[in-house]
Chain A
Amino acid sequence: MKPAIRALGIATTIIWIFLIAFSVTAVYSVMNLGIGFGEAQFFPSSEGVVLSLPFFINNSGYYDIYELNITTRIKDSNGTFLTQSKTFVPSVSTGSNIESAHNISIELSDVMERIELIFSDSFFVFDTFVTLNFAHIVPVQLSMNMTVPWGAPFSDVSVGEISVDSFNSTHVRVVVPLSFENHSFFDITGTMQLEMYNDVDELVTSGETSLDVQSQSTYNEQVDMYLSLADVSKLTESGRVHLIFETSMFTVEQWIPYD
């Protein structure tokens, strides 16, 4: 019995020493783990935009970090899934410093499918999951959700009071004051077509103007359209203006009533 007791005593002591040593060094390692984030930046891509979130991990502890996996799921304000991005770092060994970026690709086609995002400010919900394996023995999972505001590129589109004045002997000029605010993070460069319909939905006149609206700025211009004197009778006091915005990234349309 004595050797059994001695063996158990030795085994218990060794395991306790291992446990205490691991606990102390693991706490020390976690305390000496430097994690930081850089400034998030938007980059244009062929399919849309990329939100890049740079980060660094400085592992000055005693244990390696394995299988660092960052997953971000983006949902719109209704909770509908938009896109998912993953970043994988195989290992961060002791004494090393890694710098990487978590890139979240947002395809503009996904955004354009939701027409309300073009004309109304909204928000996106970012669900982020981080998983890693600490020292091959302790899996860690971290989750957070953030609400990121979305600024509409054509926010508060409105048509002012339409005026008609004589242009020449054959035509009159229809002046349409138009305004909107570009709340988005990108500049709008392209064209805007206007089609004016009367109260019986008959096309009265149309025109086109170029757009160059900087991010976070207001567009407030008058668009001139010309109408032959013979067609002036088609112009009614109320009707609708059909706006077609065409940029290198997307084409969208909007109907605005006027009276």
Chain B
Amino acid sequence: MIEEGNRKGLIEKLIPRVLKATLWGALTYVFVYYLPMLIYPMDLLPLEYSQLFYLFVGITVFFTVVTKLFSGTILEHAFGIARALIMIIYFIAVFDGGIISLTMPMMGTTVNLAVDLKAFLTILILVNLLGIAKSMFQATKFLAKKVETSQLSVG
């Protein structure tokens, strides 16, 4: 009887989380994939860059879903830190350390194009580092609140 009540409570708790996570996942997908595709068709990008874009969409949607799914727990902040770290690695890999090099045929000759995105990459890394700092503060706050609550209940 108690077990059945627990399961019911768990399902009641889980369903809104799953719905919330699904909704956020769908919204993120629209903003990260659908809208950019309307503005800039990915067919114009070289194949390796379009694949990296799909990877970016995958990472963003996945972490949005899991963060919302575990919201209100310490895992929410852990996933926030993990997302920021993965994003830093991803951006460094995609921007090739800050310089994107492309070779393309043009007017019967081969053109080498190098775009220096070091400043842009630095800002991207910084914003993710700020995200890590924010998640760490939130995790500390969450743990402090938990300890406080448990001490109050013991007292």
Residues of A within 8 A of B (CB): 1-2, 4-5, 8-9, 11-12, 15-16, 18-19, 22, 24, 27-28, 31, 137-146
B134 contacts the other chain (Cβ, under 8 Å)?
yes
Number of contacting residues on B, CB 8 A?
Answer: 28
Chain B residues near A12 (CB, 8 Å)?
127, 130-131, 134
Residue contacts A-B, CB under 8 angstroms, 10 given: A1-B137, A8-B130, A12-B127, A12-B130, A140-B115, A141-B115, A142-B114, A144-B111, A146-B108, A146-B109
A137 with B119: in contact, given A8-B130, A16-B127, A144-B106 (CB under 8 Å)?
yes
A137 touches B120 (CB 8 A): yes
Task: Select one of A16, A24, A138 contacting B115, CB under 8 A.
Answer: A138
Chain B residues near A1 (CB, 8 Å)?
137, 140-141, 144
Chain A residues near B109 (CB, 8 Å)?
144-146
CA distance A138 to B116 in the complex (A): 6
Residues of B within 8 A of A (CB): 39-40, 106, 108-117, 119-120, 123-124, 126-127, 130-131, 133-134, 137-138, 140-141, 144
Task: Select one of A5, A15, A27 contacting B138, CB under 8 A.
Answer: A5
Chain B residues near A22 (CB, 8 Å)?
120
CA distance A11 to B126 in the complex (A): 11
CA distance A176 to B23 in the complex (A): 94
B130 touches A11 (CB 8 A): yes
Query: Which residue on B lies nearest to A145, using beta carbons?
Result: B109
Q: How far is the CB of A56 from chain B (nearest CB, A)?
A: 16
A5 with B113: in contact, given A12-B127, A19-B123, A24-B39 (CB under 8 Å)?
no
B113 touches A15 (CB 8 A): no
CA distance A28 to B119 in the complex (A): 19
Q: How far is the CB of B54 from chain A (nearest CB, A)?
A: 17
CA distance A27 to B119 in the complex (A): 16
B141 touches A5 (CB 8 A): yes
Query: Which residue on B lies nearest to A143, using beta carbons?
Result: B112
Given contacts A1-B137, A142-B114, A144-B109, 17 further A-B contacts (CB under 8 A): A1-B141, A5-B137, A12-B130, A12-B131, A15-B127, A16-B127, A31-B40, A137-B120, A138-B115, A138-B119, A141-B113, A141-B116, A142-B113, A143-B111, A143-B112, A144-B111, A145-B109
Chain A residues near B114 (CB, 8 Å)?
140-143
Interchain residue pairs A-B with the least CB separation, the first 8:
A8-B134, A139-B116, A15-B127, A141-B114, A144-B111, A143-B112, A12-B130, A5-B137
